[in-house]
Amino acid sequence: MTLNPNHLIGYSWAAVGVVWLIGAISLKRTVRTQPLGTRLFHVALMALGAGFMASRRFDFGWLQVRFIPLTGAFPAAGAALAIAGCAFAIWARITLGSNWSGRATVKAGHELITRGPYALARHPIYTGLIAAILGSVLVIGQWRAITGAAIIVFAFLVKISQEERLMMQTFPEAYPLYRQRVKALLPGMF
């Protein structure tokens, strides 16, 4: 029996959703958060990017053109990258625990987490999600997927800048040292 890369990716993304829902039960109270306008901008970008990637409504014109074949190593490599990315994001989400929020926030009793995946990247949830998105792009293989991925990565970069600002304000001594030691997304690179 051959496993379908689309199904494997779907199961991986479903696992991310389940972990996020379960984790939302025990979050700390929010003390400070990003402005509503920037939150709405981020959510709109995410929805647009996800629409490009997941919806067949964008299968027209140059967006439907394939840039890689549906056969060969690309779908399997894409599925493996998506699974690994989702697993890394889940590890980071579990490590962050009750400090997590879907918005750029500071929680009551907020802790600066620097262990586990946070010793490898300051924003490992985004690292994992970007890897999973790139894996999904390899399986979809159309320009609409690359367009959606680019929009989502841009949305993550917007949110990262807001999270960085909040962490610098919340941990003015510890966070600059952490930033010097650990890159934002890619260990040793970026």
On whether residue 3 sits in a domain, the answer given is no
Contact 78, 139 (CB under 8 A): yes
Q: Range of 151's domain?
A: 33-97+112-181
Task: Give, for 30, the enclosing helix (H) or strand (E).
Answer: strand 30-33
CA distances in angstroms from 8 to 83, 101, 127, 152, 173, listed in the order given = 7, 27, 19, 21, 43
Return the pLDDT at 85: 97
On whether residue 18 sits in a domain, the answer given is no
Contact 166, 101 (CB under 8 A): no
Degrees (nearest 5) of the Cα angle 55, 19, 17?
10
Looking at the DSSP bridge assignments, the partners of residue 107 are 30
On whether residue 103 sits in a domain, the answer given is no
Instruction: Compute the distance between CA of residue 99 and CA of residue 145 in angstroms, rounded to an integer.
Output: 31
On whether residue 137 sits in a domain, the answer given is yes
On whether residue 164 sits in a domain, the answer given is yes
Question: In terms of Cα–Cα distance, which of 125, 118, 121 is closest to 102?
Answer: 125
Return the pLDDT at 181: 95
Mean pLDDT by 10 residues, the chain (190 residues): 81 94 90 88 94 87 84 89 97 95 90 96 97 95 94 95 94 96 86
| CATH (domain of 173) | 1.20.120.1630
On whether residue 107 sits in a domain, the answer given is no
22 is written with which tokens? 């379960």
Provide the number of structural domains found in the chain.
Answer: 1
- Give the phi and the psi of residue 29 in degrees, each rounded to 5: -70, 140
Return the pLDDT at 117: 97
On whether residue 16 sits in a domain, the answer given is no
4 is written with which tokens? 């379908």
On whether residue 26 sits in a domain, the answer given is no
pTM of the model: 0.92
